[in-house]
Amino acid sequence: MIHRRAFQVSFDALTAHKLRTFLTMLGVIFGVGAVIAMLSIGEGAKQEALEQISILGINNVIVSAKVPDEGLSSDRGLARSPGLSLADGDNIAQFDEMVTLVVPQRFEAYPTIFYGSEEAPVRVVATLPSYIYSSSIEVENGRFITAYDNSACAQVCVLGAKARRSLFAFSDPIGKSVRIGDLSFVVIGVMADKYIGRGKVEGFELKNLNEDVYIPFNTAVKKFDRTPAAQERRHRHSDEEDEQKYNTPEIDQLTITVTDLKYVPAVTKVVDRIMNRRHFGVDDFEIVVPESLLRQSQKTQQIFNIVMGAIAGISLVVGGIGIMNIMLATVLERTREIGVRRAVGATRKDILRQFLIEAITICLVGCAVGIALGLTLAKVISFYAEWPTIVSMYSIVLAVGVSTAVGLIFGIYPANKAAQLDVIDALRYE
């Protein structure tokens, strides 16, 4: 009953000056909203990075062909290096205790495929049937290429989700023929849609797997001329038509699947040594380790969350100072009231409790409004800035806990000052 009366008195005191109470809450409202919105951005970025890296395969080590810097390599070394090749993969595969799969890929020089009058921008990937086990891709309809397709050099293909939508809209593409270059390929499967996000993790650009079209590796070797992606990039970025001083790589990428995550660092070192030895020190390859990208991304996000949380926390501290200032002014304003309450039997503990309840009530109501503001901000940021946001229960609990603590801490001094007032002096105060 005593506590209920204390809450009633505090509520009446706050509602007697609605505008002042609302202005006092603003610091808490914006602080809580900022904490929730900032942490939701960090959590969304973290989740997006995890999803993007899972596309590469957390247990994978990826070796990609690249254009060597001719200024850093001798002409003799450039001529001796074979470029990225199947033999590189065979050498790496010998470490079968640590390596499960070594899957080659060729990216063919056909940026567009056709179905009748429809066309779609794609990346034609020539690979082996085992590629589906070394990546996160999944078949949604039909099947993936098989060992028979590869050995028979069959003209079959599997479409990415975006390529399928561009060419066939809502119709079933299985069994229909598409044109890649001058050849017709029968569609045998469609891949599940994969979310790519912004397409970059720690500066490494991810390709949109939804635009990939998969064909058997041997079909590409037998029926397509070799124009590697690395060589295309060289001609696209160079204004000079110099004679090529290095060998054309046989393949564009090797995906190496490691038996256990703990072997990833060891396999990375082995791969680097093998590649440097076989390529005579020529820097015509690049090693990407998704597991390392994940650790770097997590570290970056952790720093981001700390910085953003600290900035948002400043708003809560400022809000707490505002609460203390208003409560001090309230103590002066209600000095005579405090004296009357003490004269009719209220103890110092009762006065202290009443003012603390007022301070905490301001914080809790501000928290409720701030949570609504934070959730709204997260959705607005996600919609207009196209950043993924995830509001976690942790961010809400943290914001409410900190704001309540701020209200308690900054409310103690004014409440204690009110409780320590002398009864006679308070009654005589005008």
H-run or E-run covering 301:
helix 290-333
pLDDT at 238: 47
- Give me the percent of the chain exceeding a pLDDT of 90: 29
Question: What number of CA atoms fall less than 13 Å from residue 158's CA on the CB side?
Answer: 29
Helix (H/G/I), strand (E/B), else coil: 340: helix
pLDDT at 92: 93
- Give me the percent of the chain exceeding a pLDDT of 70: 84
Is the pLDDT reported for residue 191 higher than 90? Answer: yes
For the stretch 295-331, pLDDT in tens is 777 777 777 777 777 777 777 777 778 778 777 777 7
What are the domain boundaries of the chain? 2-52+296-428, 60-290
- State the CB neighbour count (10 A cutoff) for residue 137: 21
- The alpha carbon torsion through 370, 372, 376, 382 (nearest 10 deg) reads 80
pLDDT at 1: 39
Contact 297, 204 (CB under 8 A): no
For the stretch 288-297, pLDDT in tens is 888 777 777 7
What letter represents residue 329's amino acid? A
- Average pLDDT score over residue span 232-252: 60
pLDDT at 194: 78
Is the pLDDT reported for residue 245 higher than 70? Answer: no
pLDDT at 241: 45
User: Is the overall model pTM greater than 0.95, yes or no?
Assistant: no
- Average pLDDT score over residue span 72-84: 66
pLDDT at 261: 83
pLDDT at 317: 78
Contact 225, 58 (CB under 8 A): no
Say how far apart CA 421 and CA 364 lie, in whole Å: 27
How does 145-184 read in b/e, with b if 16+ C-beta sit within 10 Å? Answer: beeebbeeebbbbbbbbbbbbbbbeeeebeeebbebbeee
Say how far apart CA 121 and CA 167 lie, in whole Å: 10
Q: Which of 418, 412, 408, 417 is nearest to 334 (CA)?
A: 418
Q: Which residue has the higher pLDDT, 147 or 32?
A: 147
pLDDT at 75: 55
For the stretch 361-395, pLDDT in tens is 888 888 889 899 989 988 888 888 777 788 888 88
Is the pLDDT reported for residue 407 higher than 60? Answer: yes
pLDDT at 429: 56
pLDDT at 214: 96
- Average pLDDT score over residue span 398-423: 78
pLDDT at 304: 75
- The alpha carbon torsion through 165, 169, 173, 179 (nearest 10 deg) reads -70
- Average pLDDT score over residue span 80-98: 89
- Binned at pLDDT 50, 70 and 90, residue 425 comes out as low
pLDDT at 240: 44
For the stretch 111-139, pLDDT in tens is 899 998 899 999 999 999 999 988 878 89
Beta-bridge partners for 64: 253, 286
Q: Which residue has the higher pLDDT, 69 or 89?
A: 89
pLDDT at 136: 79
pLDDT at 165: 92
Mean pLDDT taken over the chain = 81
Contact 308, 39 (CB under 8 A): yes
Helix (H/G/I), strand (E/B), else coil: 108: strand
Is the pLDDT reported for residue 236 higher than 70? Answer: no
Q: Which residue has the higher pLDDT, 28 or 252?
A: 252
